[in-house]
A = this chain, B = another copy of it.
Amino acid sequence: MSEVRRSLPVAQAAPRVRRDAAANADRVLAAAMALVEAGGVDTLTMDRVAAEAGVGKGTVFRAFGNRSGLLAALTDETERDFQRAFLTGPPPLGPGAPPLDRLLAYGEGRLDLQRVHGAIFRAMQGVSIERFGVPARKVSVTHVRMLLRQCGIDDALDVITEAVLGPLDSDTAYHLSVERGLGRERLIADWKTMVRRLVG
């Protein structure tokens, strides 16, 4: 028996094993996604995923290492699916629809994805959204929201406030001015252009 297996050409045996492993990995990822969508990230355990996928627990561990590895693979997989959809999928998300329609479809798709990704990121990193609770940020949000309202914006005020504050976030401002090379003056000028566009 061992002799027979050894006699199999490695070049053909390997793909078979990889195909099986890949098929199992796909089933595990699909099962993990189903669990997360049904009950949230907290319900995702290696045991439950294995049971849901109909594979042994060892298979799940061999394919993904641990729960964090599984969660990371899940975000990679869903991100790749979404990328395929907006780069080459059918309209309105993919090519063929007018650009505004594509943009609106992108945002809707991204927000749907973030419900899953966000929960996974928070589960993996611990809650990292304390910044929204920082008193200084709350003061700024209240201030900018008030000014936007005074400028005549009475719809979508929370979202527009976040859009306006986004490029002012210290990481984003650094990324734009230094890493993307806008520099200080240009960043300020472009931020103002954006605000004037929004206020109309």
Chain A residues within 8 Å of B, Cβ to Cβ: 79, 83, 86-87, 99-100, 102-104, 106-108, 110-112, 114-115, 117-118, 121-122, 128-129, 131-132, 136, 139-140, 143-144, 147-148, 150-151, 153, 155-156, 158-160, 162-177, 179-180, 182, 184, 187-200
Tell me whether chain A's interface is mostly helix, strand or loop, or mixed.
Answer: helix
Known: A112-B184, A115-B184, A163-B194. 13 other contacts (CB 8 A): A99-B150, A99-B151, A104-B195, A107-B164, A110-B168, A111-B187, A118-B174, A156-B190, A156-B197, A158-B180, A159-B176, A159-B187, A166-B169
How many chain copies does the complex carry?
2
A147, A148, A150 — which one has the most chain B CB atoms within 10 A of its CB? A147
A143 to B85, CA, bound (A): 12
A170 to B193, CA, bound (A): 26
